[in-house]
């Protein structure tokens, strides 16, 4: 513990010790917080390393986020660029490298408030889609920041549906160049990060035309700004797309191309190539072009989704033991709001979800690392499953977490709406994840397509990936549990989820089949089933998440206290899901009305049990005060003093508002003309 | 709509009310713009002779484009509170100066440590008979007044809610008129610490403030004394009902119901128009990309919300009328309907604001990435609307209060008393009681195509949940699933009011499309709460399957009218403030035009290049 004390108290020293309401919560922990933190980090050594990185970054005033909530879009952007540049220096100074073990902790340490993230995607897409020759040429330039890259895929008129992109790249064999064009306004590239003001180069996705034929969307490296004075290159129109709900530090940009010529060698050609005479040659699956996106979808889950969710839980739960309201029992002092069942019912399921998603993320990472190794060996067999997994889980986890962060915000009453709580920032940032890297509804339908295919294959005895064999194996039946305690058995609830997911997938498939057999055209039938299909895909992911949580808890090698509390969280996550989606479990009678009452009883009992460990469970996430940047959620719980102090720093309090002299004064004094 | 149209034209054609897109301004600049427009508004109200409350409301809302402004609390809380709670003498002293804006007031209730639980407020007002003054104090950090709109920079007076102490005894919360800034210089008065609470999630135009008082003295006559009084010697005279001081709050809650409808309507207008302009993917191989509104998933996201917007619109009108009717009775001393009014506004405030809140976000997400840009206008609608889930009574607490009222009504019924109003369905329970089966087992023959029959289904669900909650409350002390009870009750009320509205519509085509929306609203609600309807035996598995099927059929039926249905909300482009939701649908060209005006684009090469990027590249 000694290791983390100094950094945690860095902001609290002037305000006195830990608020006794928060301190008392830590004395009754049923497990070792330190050991749980290590467990989340994947070992004590990782924890040590992570803390060292965080400590080094936070001690450096150049990375301070102290005034973040008071800054304008221009100031935020400038700070992000400054920090990105400074980070290069810092990494050099600390001996951290991009391939070293520290690297993955840097992003967490700077809380994502940094420019050039798309530069990394630029590098990654070249490494994956470029030939060895292209890698040798571009990667050193990029890693040394001789150029700044971006990744220009989304257009004004098209996002998730890539085939619909309208930018064109026409091969001209006489000059051995591609001619890139934005043929109409909806084809303008729109949204790419780092492109509005910073990038000098970008990977442009465009419809390839050669020898008079269209070969679909391909990536091209295009220089957009001068390396000398940063002015726009000929034929390029680019700028910032204007204010958004968040991401003020990122210069999301637009890009218009007018007869911009790039050499033939600028098409990324690991998998496809245009030869000097214009002949198009493909090697391997074209789907590989989208593999970048698939991996990005998975890699964003941890930093962009689970971290903010954990932070929101930390803030809301700590605040809920400091805030007191009304009396539970007459004559006593006002109760901590976390002692109200309604408050527990809001927050504790979100806490359980944070743990559930942490574990499913580990599972997905492993699956992808394995898949990636196969693909490098030119084995594309696992691609459909990886694609379905990345789509479905990205959609489910982002959607769930977004609403969870919103619940945390609203659970903090009025103060949750103050920017100083940190929650509006977390919320407006995480909601973007439901859209970027694939709009969630469309992603769920892609997963559904995969599930339907697998169900058909499995029903006819063909081999399917192990994760979906259950689809054809589930039989009608009833849940065997007889009392509320039996619903705390992972076998019982996992089977309930399995049954429900299989039922939803097969009934959507049956409906689809019926429509087609009754003469409805295939695509119309598909459209008429999409609401059910999306629901089925979500149910599948929910089931896998519950199953994985239960299996992870089973295998945990750590102290008994941690295993016990993790089991409680797993039970809570599972039963909360049944409680909140009662209809789909009741629908075919797998769970009866009486059993639903038992589930409700068990679920509510769990709230009271987990309540006791709520604060230690968020302490284990191990966020420093600086990374939380919240007046409500700091480690010492000095909520009100901090709110008051921070508010006084607001620019609105630093000077007399010009509004008084200009408008209020005449209004207040000029009564004659009004009467 | 004729008067409204005239007021709108008055604002839109007035060059004084034009300004740069607010999305490109800083918080200070937005505050300044709002103050500028508010000041002008006051002049112009008089110039144009606008005096009817509804007309003032529309005029104000057109000028501020539906956004909050620093005088909101002055107009919406300070003045009405003076009217309802000040004595005639106090009205003489304060009302006209306030009406003429020599006094700008706010309403300071919420404290840093206490919000919805009013009895917990800590600010004190101690009566000193020697000087005939009240001494106001903020004894702790948590007692600092925090959040009141217009308090930070604008107001020179505040109505402060404080615990009254006289003759050594605490008499509970009372309201006091407290001057906070020097007239003339606008400097805070000695003993007053006042300022802005800093940036928030939205409400950039509003100077939500803090207020700390140290031994600040005000004359005895500054306590609002229409109901409770403190006599010169310190004797306390009790009010008729302690609920009366909550009157203003009930009024604001009833307004939030109407605001839920309007905010959701705006979001629906934007999302539905944009979905008709946006094309994506293929539905049929080889054909052009279809409008995204042709996708079932998109319809499923948006049409139930459209139906909800219509439903809430009718509920808002109903509750406004009810408020005016009942408050008339209250003025004549008849308090019998106050408990139901309180429960109804609390419950519907929470129910409609939660639903609209989630619905606005759903609309934003239905616009894909562009919904996230400020140019869509939906982020602004959301951040402006979402605090209403918390202010004027935190929603969970509102739901618990309504639940408590429902359970109390149930207990009354079981002890043989009749209840009236929206809860009168509970009376049926006593007749049920004679039979051994409980209400849940009552057979309801539900006709899924008949709104009237669906009202019965919702009624049965609400009755079943109230009964279960009442029994549970007796069994254990803690409240469980109580908020669901209120939810079911409010849902029933909304379906009932929507259905009742249908018979009032004389135009057959309008009635037909509204009936479709009403059915969609009711059936969609069932499909989202199948657990309740199944568990209570109100509907069978087979009926649930039919409900789901009907919902999808209705989506296709409503599709051809979708744009017309949002056009009927009649939002002007200026008021909508959305590039995606433009009436003419020229979305992409105008997004580009909008972006070019962004502050980051003021120079071709941003200064960061010279400050940071260039030096870095030079070094490497």
Q: What is the pLDDT of residue B432?
A: 54
**pLDDT tens-digit series, residues A615-640:** 999 999 999 999 999 999 999 999 99
Which H/E stretch holds residue A549? helix A522-555
Record: contact A671-B100, CB cut-off 8 A: yes
Record: contact A668-B101, CB cut-off 8 A: yes
> Where in chain B are the domains?
3-67, 105-239, 247-397
Residue among B201, B544, B608 minimizing CB distance to A77? B608
Instruction: State the smallest CA–CA distance between residue B121 and chain A in angstroms.
Output: 10
Record: contact B284-A342, CB cut-off 8 A: no
Record: contact A583-B278, CB cut-off 8 A: no
The answer for B 207-226 residues in CB contact with A (under 8 A) is 207, 210
Residue partners of A219: CB distance under 8 A and separation at least 6: A125, A129, A203, A204, A205, A267, A268, A289
- Percent pLDDT > 70 in chain A is 95
Average pLDDT, chain A: 91
Q: Domain B247-397's class?
A: mainly alpha
- Tell me which residues of chain B have a pLDDT lower than 70: 1, 240-248, 430-444, 473-481, 616-620
Record: contact A674-B101, CB cut-off 8 A: yes
Determine contact, residues A305/A433, Cβ cutoff 8 Å. Answer: yes
Contacts of A77 in chain B (CB under 8 A): 600, 606, 608
Record: contact A659-B31, CB cut-off 8 A: yes
Record: contact B36-A663, CB cut-off 8 A: yes
Q: What is the pLDDT of residue A380?
A: 80
Tell the residue number behind the tokens 């001690």, with chain if given. A59
Instruction: State the smallest CA–CA distance between residue A103 and chain B in angstroms.
Output: 21
ipTM, interface predicted TM-score of the complex: 0.84
Residue among A423, A585, A652 minimizing CB distance to B27? A652
How many other CB atoms are there within 10 angstroms of residue A497's CB atom? 23
Determine contact, residues A470/A498, Cβ cutoff 8 Å. Answer: yes
**What's the full length of chain A, in residues?**
675
Active site residues of A: 437
Token pair recorded at residue A87: 């980070």
Give pairs for A66-73: CB < 8 Å, separation 24+. Answer: A67/A649, A68/A113, A68/A425, A68/A629, A69/A419, A69/A420, A69/A425, A69/A629, A69/B198, A69/B199, A70/A649, A70/A650, A70/A651, A70/B198, A70/B199, A71/A248, A72/A248, A72/B26, A72/B599, A73/A243, A73/A248, A73/B598, A73/B599, A73/B600
Instruction: State the smallest CA–CA distance between residue B400 and chain A in angstroms.
Output: 9
In chain B, the largest separation of any two C-alpha atoms, in whole Å, equals 91
Residue among A144, A148, A530 minimizing CB distance to B296? A530
The answer for B 560-579 residues in CB contact with A (under 8 A) is none
The answer for B 346-375 residues in CB contact with A (under 8 A) is 361, 365, 368-369, 371-375
Q: DSSP string of A7-48? A: HHTTTTGGG-S--HHHHHHHHT-SS-HHHHHHHHHTSHHHHH
Contacts of B146 in chain A (CB under 8 A): 414, 643
pLDDT-derived band at A13, boundaries 50, 70, 90: very low
**Sheet strands (E) in A522-609:** none
Q: What angle do CA B431, B525, A410 make, to 5 degrees?
A: 105
Record: contact B530-A582, CB cut-off 8 A: yes
The answer for B 287-306 residues in CB contact with A (under 8 A) is 289, 294-298, 300-301
pLDDT-derived band at A468, boundaries 50, 70, 90: very high
DSSP state, residue A139: H
Q: What angle do CA A427, A432, A433 make, to 5 degrees?
A: 100
Q: What is the pLDDT of residue B617?
A: 64
Residue partners of A84: CB distance under 8 A and separation at least 6: A114, A115, A116
Instruction: State the smallest CA–CA distance between residue B131 and chain A in angstroms.
Output: 30
CA distances from B22 to A168, A538, B25, B95 (A): 36, 39, 5, 33
CA distances from A159 to A112, A219, A353, B579 (A): 24, 15, 29, 18
Record: contact B296-A534, CB cut-off 8 A: no
Tell me whether residue B202 is annotated as binding: no
**pLDDT tens-digit series, residues A383-398:** 888 889 999 999 999 9
Contacts of B592 in chain A (CB under 8 A): 156, 185, 188, 254
Contacts of A665 in chain B (CB under 8 A): 186
Record: contact B32-A663, CB cut-off 8 A: yes
Q: CA-CA distance, A365 to A616, in Å (whole number)? A: 27
| A-B contacts at Cβ under 8 angstroms | 351
Instruction: State the smallest CA–CA distance between residue B129 and chain A in angstroms.
Output: 31
Q: CA-CA distance, B213 to B12, in Å (whole number)? A: 43
CATH superfamily of A293-621: Butyryl-CoA Dehydrogenase, subunit A, domain 3 (1.20.140.10)
- Stated pTM of the model: 0.89
B48 part of contact set with chain A, CB < 8 Å? no
Q: What angle do CA B381, B383, B386 make, to 5 degrees?
A: 95
Say whether pLDDT at A597 is over 70: yes
Task: Choose the CATH number for A148-283 among 3.50.50.60, 2.40.110.10, 3.90.79.10, 3.30.1360.200.
Answer: 2.40.110.10
Selected residue of A664, A670, A673 to mutate for chain B interface (largest B Cβ count, 10 A):
A664
**pLDDT tens-digit series, residues A137-189:** 999 999 888 999 999 999 999 887 888 999 999 999 999 999 999 999 999 99
Q: What is the pLDDT of residue A670?
A: 61
CATH code given to domain B3-67: 1.10.540.10
Which H/E stretch holds residue B137? strand B133-137
Tell me whether residue B420 is annotated as binding: no
Say whether pLDDT at A607 is over 70: yes
CA distances from A574 to A363, A373, A606, A659, B103 (A): 18, 33, 11, 54, 57
Determine contact, residues B309/B264, Cβ cutoff 8 Å. Answer: yes
CATH superfamily of B105-239: Butyryl-CoA Dehydrogenase, subunit A, domain 2 (2.40.110.10)
Record: contact A675-B604, CB cut-off 8 A: no
Token pair recorded at residue A571: 């039970």
- Angle between helices B296-331 and B482-502 in degrees, nearest 10: 90
Contacts of A253 in chain B (CB under 8 A): none
Radius of gyration, CA atoms only, chain B: 27
- In terms of pLDDT, which residue wins out, A10 or B50? B50
Q: CA-CA distance, B127 to B136, in Å (whole number)? A: 9
Nearest to B142 by CA among B109, B113, B108, B110: B113
Instruction: State the smallest CA–CA distance between residue A267 and chain B in angstroms.
Output: 25
> Where in chain A are the domains?
148-283, 293-621
Say whether pLDDT at A482 is over 60: yes
**Strands B157-166, B169-179: parallel, antiparallel or unpaired by DSSP?**
antiparallel
Contacts of B119 in chain A (CB under 8 A): 326
**Strands A335-336, B105-108: parallel, antiparallel or unpaired by DSSP?**
unpaired
Record: contact B200-A419, CB cut-off 8 A: yes
What pairs with residue A272 in β-bridges?
A282
Residue among A334, A427, A667 minimizing CB distance to B42? A667
Contacts of B42 in chain A (CB under 8 A): 667, 674
Token pair recorded at residue A156: 């004004």
How many other CB atoms are there within 10 angstroms of residue B608's CB atom? 23
């Amino acid at each position: 513990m000694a290791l983390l004390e100094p950094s945690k108290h860095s902001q609290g020293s002037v305000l006195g010790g830990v608020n006794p309401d928060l301190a008392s919560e830590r004395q009754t922990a049923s497990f070792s917080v330190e050991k749980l933190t290590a467990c989340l980090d994947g070992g004590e050594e990782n924890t040590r390393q992570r803390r060292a990185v965080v400590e080094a970054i936070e001690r450096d005033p150049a990375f301070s986020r102290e005034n973040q909530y008071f800054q304008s879009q221009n100031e935020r952007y400038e700070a992000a660029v400054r920090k990105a540049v400074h980070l290069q220096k810092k990494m050099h100074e600390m001996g951290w490298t991009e391939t070293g073990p520290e690297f993955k902790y840097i992003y967490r340490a700077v809380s994502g408030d940094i420019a050039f993230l798309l530069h990394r995607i630029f590098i990654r897409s070249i490494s994956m889609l470029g030939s060895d020759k292209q890698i040798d040429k571009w990667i050193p330039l990029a890693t040394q920041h001789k150029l700044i890259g971006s990744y220009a895929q989304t257009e004004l008129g098209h996002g998730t549906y890539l085939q619909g992109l309208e930018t064109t790249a026409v091969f001209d064999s006489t000059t051995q160049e591609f001619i890139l064009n934005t043929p109409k306004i909806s084809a303008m590239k729109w949204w790419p990060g780092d492109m509005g003001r910073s990038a000098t180069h970008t990977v442009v996705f465009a419809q390839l035309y050669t020898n008079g034929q269209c070969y679909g969307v391909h990536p091209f490296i295009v220089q957009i700004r001068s390396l000398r004075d940063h002015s726009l290159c000929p034929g390029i129109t680019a700028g910032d797309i204007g204010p958004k709900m968040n991401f003020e530090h990122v210069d999301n940009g637009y890009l218009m191309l007018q007869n911009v010529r790039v050499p033939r060698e600028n098409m990324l050609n690991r998998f496809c190539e245009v030869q000097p005479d214009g002949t198009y040659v493909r090697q391997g699956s074209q789907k590989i072009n989208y593999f970048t996106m698939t991996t990005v979808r998975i890699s964003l889950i941890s930093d962009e989704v689970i971290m903010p969710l954990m932070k929101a839980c930390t803030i809301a739960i700590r605040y809920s033991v400091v805030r007191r309201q009304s009396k539970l029992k007459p004559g006593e002092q006002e109760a901590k709001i976390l002692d109200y069942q309604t408050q527990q019912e809001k927050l504790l399921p979100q806490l359980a979800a944070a743990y559930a998603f942490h574990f499913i993320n580990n599972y997905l990472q492993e699956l992808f690392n394995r898949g990636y190794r196969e693909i490098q060996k030119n084995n594309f067999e696992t691609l459909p499953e990886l694609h379905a997994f990345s789509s479905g889980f990205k959609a489910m986890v982002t959607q769930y977490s977004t609403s969870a962060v919103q619940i945390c915000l609203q659970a903090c009453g009025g103060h949750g709406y103050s920017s100083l709580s940190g929650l509006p920032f977390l919320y407006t940032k995480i909601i973007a994840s439901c859209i970027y890297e694939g709009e969630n509804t469309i992603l769920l339908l892609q997963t559904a397509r995969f599930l339907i295919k697998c169900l058909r294959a499995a029903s006819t005895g063909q081999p399917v990936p192990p994760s979906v064999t259950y689809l054809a194996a589930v039989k009608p039946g009833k849940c065997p549990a007889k009392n509320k305690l039996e619903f705390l058995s992972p076998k019982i609830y996992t089977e309930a989820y399995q049954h429900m997911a299989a039922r939803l997938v097969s009934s959507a498939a049956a409906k689809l089949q019926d429509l087609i057999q009754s003469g409805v055209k295939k695509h119309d039938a598909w459209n008429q089933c999409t609401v059910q299909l999306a629901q089925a895909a979500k149910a599948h992911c929910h089931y896998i998440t519950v199953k994985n949580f239960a299996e992870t808890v089973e295998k945990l090698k750590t102290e008994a206290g941690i295993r016990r509390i993790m089991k409680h969280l797993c039970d809570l996550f599972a039963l909360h899901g049944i409680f909140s989606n009662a209809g789909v479990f009741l629908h075919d009678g797998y769970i009866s009305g009486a059993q639903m009452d038992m589930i409700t009883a068990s679920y509510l009992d769990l709230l009271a049990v987990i309540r006791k460990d709520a604060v230690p469970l968020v302490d284990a996430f191990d966020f420093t005060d600086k990374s939380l940047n919240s007046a409500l959620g700091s480690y010492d719980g000095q909520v009100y003093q901090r709110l008051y102090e921070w508010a006084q720093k607001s620019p609105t309090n630093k000077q007399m508002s010009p509004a008084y002299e200009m408008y209020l004064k005449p209004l207040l004094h000029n009564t004659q003309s009004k009467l | 709509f004729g008067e409204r149209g005239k007021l709108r034209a008055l604002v839109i054609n007035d060059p004084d009310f034009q300004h740069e897109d607010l999305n490109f301004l800083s918080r200070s600049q937005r505050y300044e713009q709002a103050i500028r427009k508010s000041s002008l508004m006051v002049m112009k109200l008089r110039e144009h002779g606008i005096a009817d409350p509804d007309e003032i409301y529309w005029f104000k809302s057109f000028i501020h484009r539906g956004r909050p402004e620093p005088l909101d609390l002055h107009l919406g809380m300070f003045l009405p509170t003076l009217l309802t709670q000040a004595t005639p003498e106090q009205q003489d002293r304060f009302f006209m100066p306030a009406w003429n804006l020599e006094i700008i007031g706010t309403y300071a209730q919420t404290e840093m440590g206490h919000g919805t639980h009013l009895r917990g407020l800590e600010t004190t007002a101690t009566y000193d008979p020697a000087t005939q003054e009240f001494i106001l104090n903020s004894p702790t950090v948590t007692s600092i007044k925090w959040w009141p709109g217009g308090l930070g920079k604008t107001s020179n007076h505040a109505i402060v809610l404080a615990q009254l102490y006289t003759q050594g005894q605490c008499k509970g919360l009372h309201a006091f008129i407290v001057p906070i800034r020097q007239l003339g210089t606008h400097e805070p008065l000695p003993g007053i610490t006042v300022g802005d609470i800093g940036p928030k999630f939205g409400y950039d135009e509003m100077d939500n403030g803090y207020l700390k008082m140290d031994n600040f003295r005000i004359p005895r006559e500054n306590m609002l004394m229409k109901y409770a009084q403190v006599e010169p010697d310190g004797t306390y005279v009790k009010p008729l009902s302690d609920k009366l001081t909550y009157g203003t709050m009930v009024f604001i809650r009833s307004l939030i119901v109407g605001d839920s409808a309007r905010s959701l309507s705006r979001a629906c207008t934007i999302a539905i128009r944009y979905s008709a302009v946006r094309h994506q993917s293929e539905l049929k191989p080889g054909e052009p990309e279809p409008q995204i509104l042709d996708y079932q998933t998109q319809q499923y996201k948006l049409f139930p919300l459209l139906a909800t917007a219509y439903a809430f619109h009718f509920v808002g009108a109903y509750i406004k009328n009810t408020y005016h009717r009942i408050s008339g009775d209250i003025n004549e001393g008849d308090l019998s309907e106050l408990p139901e009014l309180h429960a109804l506004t609390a419950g519907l405030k929470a129910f409609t604001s939660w639903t609209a809140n989630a619905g606005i976000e759903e609309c934003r997400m239905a616009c894909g990435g562009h919904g996230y840009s400020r140019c869509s206008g939906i982020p602004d609608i959301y951040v402006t609307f979402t605090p209403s889930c918390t202010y004027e009574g935190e929603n969970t607490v509102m739901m618990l209060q309504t639940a408590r009222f429902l359970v109390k009504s149930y207990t009354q019924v079981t002890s043989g008393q009749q209840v009236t109003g929206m809860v009168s369905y509970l009376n049926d329970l006593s007749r049920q009681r004679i039979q051994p089966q409980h209400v849940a087992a009552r057979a309801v023959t539900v006709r899924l195509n008949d709104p009237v029959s669906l009202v019965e289904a919702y009624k049965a669900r609400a009755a079943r949940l109230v009964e279960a909650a009442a029994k549970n409350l007796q069994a254990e002390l803690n409240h469980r699933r109580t908020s669901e009870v209120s939810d079911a009750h409010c849902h029933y009320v909304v379906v009932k009011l929507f259905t009742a509205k249908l018979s009032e519509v004389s135009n057959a085509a309008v009635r037909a499309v509204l009936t479709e929306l009403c059915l969609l609203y009711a059936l969609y609600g069932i499909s989202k709460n199948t657990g309740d309807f199944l568990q209570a035996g109100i509907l069978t598995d087979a009926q649930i399957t039919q409900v789901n099927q009907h919902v999808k059929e209705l989506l296709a039926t409503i599709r051809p009218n979708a744009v017309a249905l949002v056009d009927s909300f009649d939002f002007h482009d200026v008021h909508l403030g959305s590039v995606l939701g433009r009436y003419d649908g020229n979305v992409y060209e105008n997004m580009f035009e909008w972006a070019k005006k962004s502050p980051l684009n003021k120079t071709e090469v941003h200064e960061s290049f010279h400050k940071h990027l260039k030096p870095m590249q030079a070094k490497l």
